[in-house]
Chain A
């Protein structure tokens, strides 16, 4: 039943620097998760996207939220009833260690 969803999530996780991906429904419940991501963050991710949407209520284009933390990034986008959350992690550069 959720084969298509699984396929999309697998494609997202294979992208460069991506470590985990998750999709949530309008109730903030996890529809599917792939990779290194906790399914429990679906509700909080959706809550963040809802709060951000209030900043520009007249904007029809869904906002993309990017949270930076060290070498990790969390990208959240709400589109209609579905909210996508992607975790990205950039490899630490060895140049800074050698300098």
Chain B
């Protein structure tokens, strides 16, 4: 099952030009699945211990703005863009080039839901 999911996300990674990494973690940043281009830029910062918990905190704070539950945070940097999706208990992180198609990444949200269900089960099972 895990191989199928990895293959699926690898396919997604190749569909979006300029996308370097897709990673699925829990809300504490524990990596569950990561697919990346081997030859592409080093984007290990996405697995830094502070990276995902910072998103979780920002997401919780953004949910208090009175606009409803925060779903996605897009961060634009000079060399990268990071799209993080709140799919609790999972966090989905996309890291791409600064000129990567953000709209295409956002459109993937509903496509991956089915595959995330299987991983969610693995996280929530006692």
Contact = CB atoms under 8 A, between A and B. Distances in A.
A27 B15 CA distance: 16
Interface stretch (B24-32, B46-54, B95-103, B115-123): B95-103
Interface residues of A, number: 14
Interface of B: 15-17, 99, 101-107, 110
A30 B16 CA distance: 17
A14 interface: no
A46 interface: yes
B interface: dominant SS: helix
A40 B106 contact: yes
Contact of A40 (B99, B101, B107): B107
B91 to A, nearest CB: 21
A41 interface: yes
